[in-house]
């Protein structure tokens, strides 16, 4: 069966804390999305367990997202009802039809074994969700080539990610959606792997750290405007995978 993948970025209403956000999404919204026709469903949620500063500088004025919903549908028109659920719960949303490519999944490198926990349980570690805009100076095909062909393999060779999912935006589905053209999910073994520069950049000493930081920075700047990168640390939840 051919499935469409839709990604929704969520911004919370004023006064909604991280614990309440998680409870609403997991215990209220998720079952209703499945009932409404979600063939597969996963969520990244800014919950209390993932609360930490992002390694990327915050050089933008917008509020960070509080959640990311990955939704697979056989009938894309069913999304309207699902969007209404999210809006009625108070979330501001931006939806995108995307093409997914999983660069690394659990068990695909030395940093983790295969996934062995059930749907509904929080995944180990934390996930960094990055919303990317394409600089207008770079043609789209060249932008994707630099992202997929240079940035992805370089960061994989240096950094201790356990899972890396790339979503190329095909089109925005909701009015007023920001012009994101890429949405990335990078899972790390622990908070410490994000906050400790030596772990984050796969370095054993200060010389390796400087070298690896410069290599990553050069690759990032080759296809992104550093002032427009939006990264939020969250928890990953697989809700329905079969």
d(CA 231, CA 119): 25
d(CA 189, CA 109): 12
Q: Whole-prediction pTM value? A: 0.95
Does residue 79 sit in helix, strand or coil?
Answer: helix
Is the pLDDT confidence value at 61 over 80? no
Q: What is the pLDDT of residues 151-163, one digit of tens each?
A: 999 999 999 999 9
Q: What is the pLDDT of residues 141-194, one digit of tens each?
A: 999 999 999 999 999 999 999 999 999 999 999 999 999 999 999 999 999 999
d(CA 126, CA 134): 25
What is the reported pLDDT for 59?
67
**Domains identified in the chain and CATH numbers:** 4-235 (3.30.70.100)
The C-alpha angle with vertex 129 and arms to 192 and 139, in degrees rounded to 5, equals 130
| Interacting residues of 144 by C-beta distance below 8 A, sequence separation 6+ | 168
d(CA 65, CA 239): 20
Would you say 9 and 94 are in contact if contact means Cβ atoms under 8 Å apart? yes
Q: What is the pLDDT of residues 91-132, one digit of tens each?
A: 999 999 999 999 999 999 999 999 999 999 999 999 999 999
Would you say 128 and 232 are in contact if contact means Cβ atoms under 8 Å apart? yes
Does residue 121 sit in helix, strand or coil?
Answer: coil
To which H or E segment does residue 118 belong? none
């Amino acid at each position: 069966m051919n499935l469409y993948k839709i990604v929704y970025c969520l911004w919370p209403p004023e006064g909604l804390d991280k614990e309440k956000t998680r409870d609403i999404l997991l215990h209220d919204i998720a079952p209703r999305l499945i009932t409404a026709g979600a063939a597969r469903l996963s969520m990244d949620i800014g919950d209390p367990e993932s609360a930490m500063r992002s390694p990327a500088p915050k050089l933008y004025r917008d509020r960070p997202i509080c959640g990311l919903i990955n939704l697979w549908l056989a009938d894309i028109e069913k999304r309207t009802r699902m969007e209404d659920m999210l809006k009625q719960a108070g979330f501001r949303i931006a939806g995108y039809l995307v093409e997914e490519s999983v660069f690394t999944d659990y068990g695909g490198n030395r940093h983790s074994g295969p996934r062995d926990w059930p749907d509904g349980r929080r995944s180990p570690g934390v996930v960094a969700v990055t919303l990317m805009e394409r600089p207008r100076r770079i043609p789209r095909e060249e932008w994707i080539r630099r992202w997929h062909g240079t940035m992805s393999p370089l960061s994989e060779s240096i950094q201790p990610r356990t899972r890396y999912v790339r979503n190329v935006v095909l089109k925005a589905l909701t009015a007023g959606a920001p012009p994101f053209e890429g949405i990335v999910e990078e899972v790390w073994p622990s908070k410490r792997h994000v906050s400790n520069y030596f772990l984050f950049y796969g370095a054993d000493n200060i010389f390796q750290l400087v070298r690896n930081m410069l290599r990553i920075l050069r690759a990032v700047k080759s296809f992104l405007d550093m002032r427009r990168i939006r990264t939020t640390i969250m928890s990953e939840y697989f809700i329905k995978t079969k």
